Structure 1
């Protein structure tokens, strides 16, 4: 009797423990989901009252000693204000160095032009160790070269940087290094305002800052905001605003060296030419190690359980141009590749997704809409026709977009793209770390998922016509046309 009572008590205790443990196990998941929902809710609420969209050219251009910077300023364009994203294209000449800077919002950079091992990117992550050092030496540690990790970059790479993380780019090749950067000022990480603010850690980009200030003042004047008449001259990098003696004390250096930190007589702007070559630690086998890391499982991507990467060792680079990594491929139409938080985990912190599209001659990307993000598209090659439709069924854009232009597609607006005879390629940044797309035509489309009789009644057509509407296009997202099947000529 006693033993049976003891057995009952034991079984009851185990059941209670299992139930409590299950609830404890579920709490972190619920907390993560609630945190994710809060993050989504904290995104800047921007106005998207857009009766007409435009293909955008850069609004200002600044020449430096060793390159050119061209800006799409959010303040000048209603489309960019709606998306909460600004952009800049840098052309960095041979031995050109884009000086260290950080932004008030996450930054996603795409390398448009630059052969492998022809560019270097560095990012300074606060609190992380200097893992690159010149090796054992009999000399003191101060005489050894040490710095945080640098990354070799090439054409097709996506490089991610969180808000406040300083980064720099260097061209160690013979041809220009061209990159386009998107700054997501609508992101919850930005607690200032809907302006892309670049904080410089070196140099004296007076011309760059003056043109930016003029643009902001004009924008405020148009909106009749308070303070539109206020004006203070730009002062250069962030050290310029500090007292020289305080700088000298802070770094334990003399005042002459502290004045050089302020760079007030520097006229080279944001991209400067390095004398000789930039002397940094960059292991010759670094790309081999990264390649082994990426292909360790024999695939072009890995599955992550959240423990493989700490913040200091997060991968910040991912090549999006490799055809073998395409998510959708049509040999007669083109390919589509997506990089999100699943294959580049740092994007989970940045709340961004990148999309690379390649359409062959006259091919079409299915009419679709983005469920949970805005899309900012930069055309990297060729040209194509785009049509965008708003919630009133109005055509708010219908025109050709060409290489070097920017186009914004607001959330849920329907869009269709068709390549010209030269083909059509783009890179798009979307404002969600797992941006989702809903095609309206093709094998996995919304129309395909609806019952035939429903379509027949909605459009007042026969069931046979409804069946054709559903099933005539068997391709997925990327469609070939009669002319595109004749060849990939571009």
Structure 2
């Protein structure tokens, strides 16, 4: 299990004049098969249309390039009428796709639109994608004629016109009716916009971290997936940490280095990453990421909707809660050395600036005025975290109320059917 974590190149699944679909994972794919995940990268050219399709596993899809695209989501609602919506997307937008939900994408800009997605094989059959065009070919003309209320000649004509390609290029632009998303609550069930949210953690000269979980986007609880978005400044570093879930890391911009350690303490991964690289970090494997001179912007797809993370250094270090005498025995060093480990970066949180930036900050702290500014900044950060905790609590309460209302509505509906 998880013997080779080195980045793998994707295989080209299909390519046309409308775009290209690349895939990581599948049978015999090593670490992806071990983690029960599959990933794909779709590139749509101008007027490229990714035909309506569904996947037999829950998935998350992130726009990694492009300023203007369209995505359509069609959600079946059992015995009620299906809902459909079309909305604009741009770089940094996440679309959550429950198992079996139909989705299509369209690029109406001159530049390429790129989407990177992850599917959780563990919750699906094989994470295989099916297009409506491909599926309907399996039915007889008689069945489709009756289902669609068409004569058989029209059904045959429709079947013959279906493209076998999953991505096509249209001859003309599609015009979409303007939709005011603020008046359309349906789209909010499926989309999250990283670019329009404040960071959960911001460190001066270090970078920013944003987390996406089922508190912020409730449908993720159904998917069992989450995400972390990290932007590191030049030479900054993320505190060594481990998740209680698999991480599938994709580099959006810049260059950096990653180190990961296996459960038995062996170095499992030590490699440089660049834009477009994708690696899998197994659950409970400690890892760290270090930015290069260009900075390092990456996202981690997570196989849990409520990420739990443990840090090995900094203000949130797990070592902070271990008695010094115990820690010295664990590390097999004297208490003075153990105290040094315990207090490393104790004023910093999760992201550590470069050594040169840290030195400038230490020098600045000798100036009383700068020291006061630093104190005020820490107080503001603490207040921001307090507000975030309060917001999370309110979101949880609102989610509980929403579920209660849905349960009551369902009970009323069943009662009406019984009458």
TM range (shorter): 0.7 to 0.9
Structure 2 equivalent of residue 309 of structure 1: none
Task: Give the root-mean-square deviation of aligned CA atoms.
Answer: 2.1
**CA contact under 8 A between 2:74 and 2:82: conserved in structure 1?**
no
Q: Specify which of 243, 246, 254 is matched with residue 382 of structure 1.
A: 254
Q: How far apart are the structure 1 equivalents of 2:74 and 2:178?
A: 15
3-state SS in 2 of match to 1:456: helix
How much has 1:65 moved relative to structure 2? Answer: 2.7
Aligned to 1:243: 140
Matched, 1:468 2:340: yes
Matched residues, number: 357
Gaps of at least 5 residues in structure 1 are 1-48, 132-147, 203-236, 294-311
Q: How far, CA to CA, are the matches of 2:340 and 2:235 in structure 1? A: 23
Q: Which protein has the bigger strand share? A: 2
Q: Does the 8 Å CA contact 2:256/2:273 hold for their aligned counterparts? A: yes
1:394 matched to 2:276? The reply is: no
Residue aligning to 2:194: 320
Asked if 1:365 is matched to 2:301, the reply is no
Tell me how far apart the structure 1 counterparts of residues 333 and 199 of structure 2 sit (CA, whole Å): 37
Describe the superposition over 1:167-216 as per-residue Cα deviations: whole angstroms up to 9, x where unpaired. 101112221111111111112xx2x3xx22111113xxxxxxxxxxxxxx
> Does residue 200 of structure 1 match 2:131?
yes
* Correspondence 1:282 to 2:178: yes
Who is 1:425 aligned against?
297
Match of 1:305 in 2: none
Residue 163 in 1 paired to residue 99 in 2?
yes
Q: In the alignment, which residue of structure 2 is the partner of 1:122?
A: 72
Cα pair 1:361 1:483 within 8 Å, conserved: no
Question: What are the Cα deviations for residues 434-469 of structure 1, in whole angstroms up to 9, with x where unaligned?
Answer: 011101111111112211222222223332322221
**Distance (whole Å) between structure 2 residues aligned to residue 263 and residue 350 of structure 1:** 36
- Report the CA distance between 1:255 and its aligned residue: 2.5
Cα 1:93–1:101 change in 2 (3 A) is same
Query: Which of 156, 180, 197 is the equivalent residue of 2:116?
Result: 180
Q: CA deviation at 1:485?
A: 5.7
Q: Aligned with 1:149: secondary structure?
A: strand
**2:331 matched residue in structure 1:** 459
Higher Cα radius of gyration: 1
* Whole-angstrom distance in 1 between the partners of 2:82 and 2:332: 68
Q: Is the contact made by 1:121 and 1:169 (CA closer than 8 Å) also made in structure 2?
A: yes
Shift of 1:263: 4.3
Give the SS at the match of 1:447: helix
**Gapped runs of 5+ residues in structure 2?**
361-419
2:368 maps to none
CA–CA distance in structure 1, aligned partners of residues 75 and 163 of structure 2: 27
Q: Is the 8 A contact 1:57 1:404 kept in 2?
A: no
The 1:251–1:486 alpha-carbon spacing in structure 2 relative to 1, beyond 3 Å, is farther
Among candidates 110, 113, 116, match of residue 65 of structure 2: 113
Deviations 1:248-285 (A, max 9, x none): 22211122332244347736x211122322244332x3
